[in-house]
Amino acid sequence: MSTTPIRTTARGTRDVRRRGAARREVLVLAGALVVLLGLVLVGLGVGDIPLSPGQVLGALLGRGDTVSDFVLGQLRGPRVLAALLVGASLGTAGAIVQSVVRNPIASPDIIGITAGASASGLVAIVLFGASGVALFGVVLVGAVTVAVLIAALAWRRGITGNRVVLVGVGVGAVSLSITGWLLTSGSVQQAGTALLWLSGSLNAVDRVVVGALLVGFVVLMALALLQAPRLGVLSLGDEVAASLGLRPDRAKVLLLLTAVLLTAGAVATAGPVSFVALMAAPIARRLVGGGRTALGPAAAVGAVVTLGSDLVAQFALPGVTLPVGVVTGVVGAPYLLWLLARGR
């Protein structure tokens, strides 16, 4: 009996499932963008000087009055844009790291990248009084240095998931000890500035830094999307990936470097906004289904989580503006515990 009809039917079934998953990914991305648009209108319109949706849209289209132009251009616009970019960067970085390491808790927060970037930023703040673009550059260099250290310590004939997680936890602990030492050795004013930054804050974002993050995000997101097919191949295992013509270790290094730079840009802009990278990718994968990495939906979900958390941080307590990292931590910590409780 010929097996050709059976093979053809199986191939057709896979193609149908693939097209269905792709359509679902587009629908999830579109839905997340609609939610994001609503949050943007709220973020730009609510505050001490309330603006209607019409005023917000008019100002965005260049037809606003003096008040709305000032409020959006100088006060709320940079903060909302920073929240979008920070959340999208962390969501994409988390999706890449979890897919490469093949571990649902292997986000930049857990494997030490965020802690290393934070420690380098704190060195620049406490010892040299750095801010703005200078701080942005130092955090980028620090994050890449820590990532290289983790990769070197975890390398055993390639990069394996469990070793990366364990080594990253250790390097993160060392980075946190450096952070604690810097906080106790600096002046009271320096410690106050550093603590606000370490909490993950969008309260006083630098527009120049936000512009740098925007350029970096566009470039790195394009690189991530170009490398996305490799994530699907790597999910089959290193041996299968190699048999299909992919060099697994090289692909992992390039993907992880993209994730590190995305994380570093987010940390340099707003400090370590915790748990966004951990939560965004699993939420996006559950919404999309089919085991897809879904970098676009992960970025959109990360932006929704960050901007929504920032709105809660601003307006949940009257007269008190909390750092956005406090809100994401309150939501993310129970989620991490749930992941650990249900995992093996």
Largest CA distance in the chain: 82
pLDDT at 20 (0 to 100): 67
Alpha-carbon span 191 to 164, nearest angstrom: 32
Residues 252, 260 contacting (CB under 8 angstroms): no
Residues 330, 344 contacting (CB under 8 angstroms): no
At residue 47, the 3 state secondary structure works out as coil
- Other CB atoms within 10 Å distance of the CB of residue 33: 15
Residues 299, 235 contacting (CB under 8 angstroms): no
Residues 89, 217 contacting (CB under 8 angstroms): yes
Look at phi and psi of residue 50 and say left if phi exceeds 0, alpha if psi is from -120 to 50, else beta. beta
Residues 89, 301 contacting (CB under 8 angstroms): no
DSSP notation for 41-74: HHHHH-SSS---HHHHHHHHTT---HHHHHIIII
- Other CB atoms within 10 Å distance of the CB of residue 44: 24
Sequence letter at residue 279: M
With residue 276 as reference, give the H or E element that holds it: helix 276-288
Residue-by-residue pLDDT tens, the chain, 344 positions: 455 554 555 455 555 556 666 788 899 999 999 999 999 999 999 988 888 888 888 888 888 788 888 889 888 999 999 999 999 999 999 999 999 888 877 889 888 999 999 999 999 888 888 888 899 999 999 999 999 999 888 887 777 667 888 899 999 999 999 998 988 887 777 778 888 888 899 988 889 999 999 999 999 999 999 999 888 888 777 788 888 888 888 888 899 999 999 999 999 999 999 999 999 988 998 888 766 778 999 999 999 999 999 999 999 888 888 999 999 999 888 887 887 777 65
pLDDT at 15 (0 to 100): 56
DSSP-assigned letter for residue 157: S
CA atoms within 13 A on the CB side of 218: 5
